[in-house]
């Protein structure tokens, strides 16, 4: 980890409005709200990639990327309820359109389920299943950020362009889109449907069961099977 990446993480943690944008041969980190703001730090491609991994980046409506919100640690929440950070999430609807919906940004559905335990105290999801679901979710979010993507998974390009050494923001999205396409193609149709609902669209398990017409609790079994197949595709565990 470079010093520049460490400093960028610190700035983005202390300043929630800090954001990144491609500039020249690198990425500019600004604290102010727009491009007229002073550049606080310049990052190279390696630094940018490390920030995608941690703290995680999400797209801004105005362009560029900001740090992914940190889950709430408010212990006054009702038992079993995930930390809540009200906001909006970019999702893809069943007909291929993209829209922003109100969402809890504090914790993903997979992360929340991974913290649940059954009556015997065993986790609902294995570490490999949870890791596979989060990997698909992160790739899907990055893919949706691409300005030139066709917004239907069955129409995503099979090969990407760009031979320059520097990876453009759009290239990140195209690469992520190919990874999503490969992952969803590696599971059967029933598994793909529930992964789309929970990992791509951000639905809760209950909402996914309702939307797919599943019996109550059947969604949990189906999701575990789907995540196990996904983990096998990613060679996790």
Which of 196, 190, 189, 186 shows the shortest CA–CA distance to 229? 186
Please give the distance of CA 136 from its chain centroid, rounded to a whole number: 7
Please report, for the chain, how many H helices and E strands are present, in that order.
Answer: 8, 7
- pTM for this one? 0.52
Is the Cα torsion angle 46, 52, 54, 58 positive or negative in sign? positive
pLDDT for the residue numbered 119: 84
Instruction: Dump pLDDT digits (tens) for 47-76.
Output: 888 888 777 787 777 788 888 765 444 433
| Residue 149 CB partners (closer than 8 Å, separation 6+) | 143, 156, 173, 174, 177
Instruction: Dump pLDDT digits (tens) for 174-188.
Output: 788 889 999 999 999
pLDDT for the residue numbered 132: 92
Instruction: Dump pLDDT digits (tens) for 29-45.
Output: 999 888 888 999 999 98
Sheet-wide strand order for 19-23: 39-43, 26-30, 19-23, 65-67, 57-59
pLDDT for the residue numbered 28: 93
pLDDT for the residue numbered 100: 57
pLDDT for the residue numbered 104: 55
Q: Which residues of the chain have pLDDT under 50?
A: 71-83, 92, 94, 147-169
| Residue 26 CB partners (closer than 8 Å, separation 6+) | 42, 43, 44, 45, 48
At CA 196, angle to CA 149 and CA 160, rounded to 5?
25
pLDDT for the residue numbered 216: 79
* Beta bridge pairs of residue 100: 90
pLDDT for the residue numbered 160: 39
């Amino acid at each position: 980890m470079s010093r520049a990446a460490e400093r960028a993480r610190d700035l983005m943690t202390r300043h929630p409005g800090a954001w990144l944008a491609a500039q020249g041969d690198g990425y500019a980190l600004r604290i102010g709200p727009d491009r007229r703001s002073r550049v606080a730090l310049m990052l190279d491609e390696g630094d940018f990639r490390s920030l995608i991994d941690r703290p995680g980046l999400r797209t801004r409506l105005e362009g560029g990327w900001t740090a992914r919100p940190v889950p709430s640690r408010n212990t006054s929440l009702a038992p079993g309820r995930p930390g809540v950070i009200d906001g909006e999430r970019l999702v893809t609807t069943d007909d291929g359109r993209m829209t922003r919906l109100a969402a809890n940004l504090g914790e993903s559905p997979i992360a929340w389920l991974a913290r649940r335990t059954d009556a015997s105290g065993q986790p609902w999801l294995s570490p490999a299943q949870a890791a596979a679901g989060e990997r698909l979710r992160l790739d899907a979010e990055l893919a949706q950020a691409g300005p030139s993507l066709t917004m239907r998974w069955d129409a995503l390009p099979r090969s990407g362009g760009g031979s320059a050494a520097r990876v453009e923001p759009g290239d990140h999205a195209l690469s992520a889109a190919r990874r999503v396409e490969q992952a969803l193609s590696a599971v059967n149709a029933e598994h793909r449907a529930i992964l789309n609902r929970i990992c791509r669209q951000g639905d809760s398990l209950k909402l996914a069961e309702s939307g797919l017409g599943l019996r109550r609790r059947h969604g949990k079994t189906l999701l575990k099977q789907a995540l196990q197949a996904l983990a096998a595709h990613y060679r996790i565990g």
